[in-house]
Chains A and B, each alone.
Chain A
Amino acid sequence: MIEPTAGAVLSARRPGPPYPVMIGLLVLLLGGAVTAAIAAGSVPLPAGQVWGILLHNLHPALAEPTWTPVRETIVMDVRLPRVVLAGAIGAGLSVCGMALQALVRNPLADPMLLGVSSGAGVGAVTVVVFGLSVFGAFSLPIAAFLGALAALVAVYFLARSGGRMTTVRLVLAGVAMAEVLSAVASFLVVTSNDPHKTQAAVRWMLGGLAGTTWTVVWIPAAAVLLGTVALIGVSRPLNLLLAGEEAAASLGLDVHRFRSALFVLVAMMIGTTVAVSGAIGFVGLIMPHVVRLLIGADHRRALPATALLGAAFLIVADLTARTLIAPEEIPVGIITALVGGPFFLWLMRRRSK
């Protein structure tokens, strides 16, 4: 018989700071990113004043107003909605990236993989190029969401056969769909004769958060919050997916049903966020990897950390995008791609060793 050695060697804890400390650091990082992003701009504000205004608006008793009403408007109606949206989209893309990587069991998967963002692109470009305004101010996000949903349904049925969905088929269907839809969007942009429309469409496709107001913030923020909570709730099944299909089945997971439900949830989250921001690449690829390097692959611990890091990253990326060559703005998708591309290549080379 083997002698039980329970607990004897388990003191060999994971190296690095304990989990609560890591989460604390990430919260501080996010707080710092939010403060910097609200403080910076054509009217620079001191950090103390930023928090004074935020606290005063949370509850008037928390801070005495020592600032001009104009500054309060800048913080509350111009900069804060944009920061909240950037945070929500960064968090959403990151947790979706992590869930997708588990879903297809491939660490190089990314939200752009499913063709969902290309579908959103076709929807958005159609509205811009043909000047449609069926839904008023919401025409663009609604069209983008419908495009994303259509791409999702197409990929879903292409990837399924006989009630099963294999990961290889899912990836191939997603990549093919993304290529075809990008081509359609590019065709619409190129054949449009109006240079203003062309420029607006291209800006959308590159991803950006310029001109964000509170009206467009609520839906993606709520979708990301609810979706992230749901994903944390299924973090044990997500772990099982990493073990492989057979092992997951033997550990009590109805693999095909879970994969289908997960796919729909993630695609809805991506569709809702991409609809307002345009395609912002690489966030969903990089953040999960950084988090796995920092605190390991267990989704119960990794998902909350990924949400925090993704939010902080996109807030800083958006801050860079609007201040680097101010008053001009760079689409934030260009910033994330410039950071993400080299990271992706480094990751690929590291894995192939």
Chain B
Amino acid sequence: MTLTVENVSVRIGGRDLVRQVSLEVAEGEMLALAGPNGAGKTTLLRTLYRARRPTRGRVLLDGEDVWRMPAGRLARRLAAVLQESGGDFELSVYDVVAMGRTPHKRAFDGDNAADKAIIADALGRLDVAGLAHAPFDRLSGGEKQRVLIARALAQRPTTMVLDEPTNHLDLRHQLDALNLVRGLGVTAVVALHDLNMAAAFCDRICVMDAGRIVALGAPADVLTPALLAEVYRVDAEVVIHPRTGVPQVSLRTGGSRVTN
């Protein structure tokens, strides 16, 4: 599915968190969203999965305004992996993943064999099947993150929005999770802080700063020392990995560099 962001602005409490952002994510493309804290990444993502209505502009999924379709219709096509918000109800891991089937169900519908197979598959792919009946609230941060990715998978979406899906994961599970999303072939927008991961897994990187897009393109074109100095205020070198051809960012330590 093609995801189109058209001139989206979000103004909350007198502050412009997102300013006139336009971008298009092609069918099957994986787009990384990067930028410093407070750049507006999460706010922009929230307009995609209907958590925050844009003050101006539109978000289109295959040409259809996501804010004008019923919530259930969007959830059958687009799944979001959010930062975990704690509960206190002892829902089991299985219950949490099973929620992913909700958009496909009507009142009084039970989970049929197909639903159960989808839930089992999602649990297995994220390596959390052994935790199926553990209480979700007692898991570690990384385990919770994998469960929430499994829930999004159980939605069987064609488009995915992921907000920092790997920040609690160890290296192995970071690779597994991003490989998994890549392998699904879905259209995906992923907020990532790790630029090397973004460069290795995503087709394009979109860099935001102060609510605006400051760079958008292939990793090798976007990740330049000049841009990193301007946006992140760091002194960095970018080398192309000799074997994979992927740009690698390495930082010079020693405090932040003040530009101009």
A243 touches B96 (CB 8 A): yes
B49 touches A243 (CB 8 A): no
Interfacial chain A residues near B130, Cβ < 8 Å? 9, 12
B88 touches A107 (CB 8 A): yes
Q: Does A296 contact B (CB under 8 A)?
A: yes
Whole-angstrom CA separation of A240 from B72 in the bound complex: 12
Comparing B76-84, B201-209, B252-260, the segment that makes contact with chain A is: B76-84
Whole-angstrom CA separation of A239 from B133 in the bound complex: 16
Interfacial chain A residues near B105, Cβ < 8 Å? 236
B71 touches A252 (CB 8 A): yes
A297 touches B90 (CB 8 A): yes
Partner of A247 from B76, B85, B88, B126 at Cβ < 8 Å: B85
A251 touches B129 (CB 8 A): no
B51 touches A249 (CB 8 A): yes
Partner of B120 from A10, A106, A249, A253 at Cβ < 8 Å: A10
Min Cβ gap A207→B in Å is 28
Excluding A7-B124, A296-B92, 6 further A-B contacts by CB distance (< 8 Å) are A6-B124, A7-B117, A13-B133, A242-B89, A249-B51, A253-B71
> Within residues 221 to 255 of chain A, which ones have a CB less than 8 A from any CB in chain B?
232-234, 236-237, 239-240, 242-247, 249-254
Q: Does B213 contact A (CB under 8 A)?
A: no
B88 touches A239 (CB 8 A): no
Interfacial chain A residues near B50, Cβ < 8 Å? 249-250
A246 touches B51 (CB 8 A): yes
Instruction: Name the residue on A nearest B80 (C-beta).
Output: A250
Instruction: Name the residue on B nearest A1 (C-beta).
Output: B183
Min Cβ gap B203→A in Å is 18
Whole-angstrom CA separation of A232 from B183 in the bound complex: 38
Give the contact-size bracket for chain A: 35 or more
Instruction: Name the residue on B nearest A229 (C-beta).
Output: B108
Whole-angstrom CA separation of A300 from B98 in the bound complex: 12
Min Cβ gap A245→B in Å is 8
Whole-angstrom CA separation of A78 from B74 in the bound complex: 55
A5 touches B124 (CB 8 A): yes
B120 touches A239 (CB 8 A): no
A-B contact count (CB 8 A): 134
Whole-angstrom CA separation of A241 from B161 in the bound complex: 20
A14 touches B133 (CB 8 A): yes
A106 touches B99 (CB 8 A): no
Q: Does B91 contact A (CB under 8 A)?
A: yes
Interfacial chain A residues near B110, Cβ < 8 Å? 300
A292 touches B89 (CB 8 A): yes
Q: Does B87 contact A (CB under 8 A)?
A: yes
Instruction: Name the residue on B nearest A299 (C-beta).
Output: B95
Given contact pairs A249-B51, A297-B90, A8 touches B129 in the complex (Cβ within 8 A)? yes
A8 touches B124 (CB 8 A): yes
Consensus secondary structure, chain A interface: loop
Q: Does B107 contact A (CB under 8 A)?
A: yes
Interfacial chain B residues near A237, Cβ < 8 Å? 102
Q: Does B123 contact A (CB under 8 A)?
A: yes
Interfacial chain B residues near A13, Cβ < 8 Å? 133
Whole-angstrom CA separation of A61 from B216 in the bound complex: 82
Min Cβ gap A142→B in Å is 32
Give the contact-size bracket for chain B: 35 or more
Min Cβ gap A10→B in Å is 5
Q: Does B103 contact A (CB under 8 A)?
A: yes
Q: Does B127 contact A (CB under 8 A)?
A: yes
Q: Does B16 contact A (CB under 8 A)?
A: no
Whole-angstrom CA separation of A254 from B75 in the bound complex: 11
Interfacial chain A residues near B102, Cβ < 8 Å? 236-237, 239-240, 251-253
Min Cβ gap B97→A in Å is 11
Min Cβ gap B65→A in Å is 16
B155 touches A251 (CB 8 A): yes
B124 touches A1 (CB 8 A): no
Partner of B99 from A7, A249, A251 at Cβ < 8 Å: A251
Instruction: Name the residue on B nearest A232 (C-beta).
Output: B108
Interfacial chain B residues near A7, Cβ < 8 Å? 117, 120, 124
Q: Does A4 contact B (CB under 8 A)?
A: yes
Whole-angstrom CA separation of A292 from B95 in the bound complex: 13
Min Cβ gap A333→B in Å is 27
Whole-angstrom CA separation of A6 from B96 in the bound complex: 17
Min Cβ gap B213→A in Å is 23
Instruction: Name the residue on B nearest A243 (C-beta).
Output: B99
Q: Does B12 contact A (CB under 8 A)?
A: no
Partner of B87 from A6, A10, A243, A254 at Cβ < 8 Å: A243
Question: Which residue, A14, A102, A252, has most C-beta atoms of chain B within 10 A?
Answer: A252
B51 touches A250 (CB 8 A): yes
Instruction: Name the residue on A nearest B127 (C-beta).
Output: A2
Q: Does A77 contact B (CB under 8 A)?
A: no
Instruction: Name the residue on B nearest A253 (C-beta).
Output: B71
Q: Does A179 contact B (CB under 8 A)?
A: no
Would you list 10 pairs from A and B whose C-beta atoms are within 8 A, ordered by A residue? A2-B127, A14-B94, A15-B133, A242-B87, A244-B85, A251-B155, A252-B76, A253-B102, A254-B70, A297-B91
Whole-angstrom CA separation of A12 from B134 in the bound complex: 10
> Within residues 85 to 127 of chain A, which ones have a CB less than 8 A from any CB in chain B?
101-102, 105-107
Which 8 A-B residue pairs are closest in the complex by CB-CB distance? A252-B75, A5-B124, A250-B80, A9-B129, A252-B103, A252-B72, A233-B107, A244-B85
B121 touches A9 (CB 8 A): no
Whole-angstrom CA separation of A239 from B87 in the bound complex: 11
Interfacial chain A residues near B103, Cβ < 8 Å? 251-252
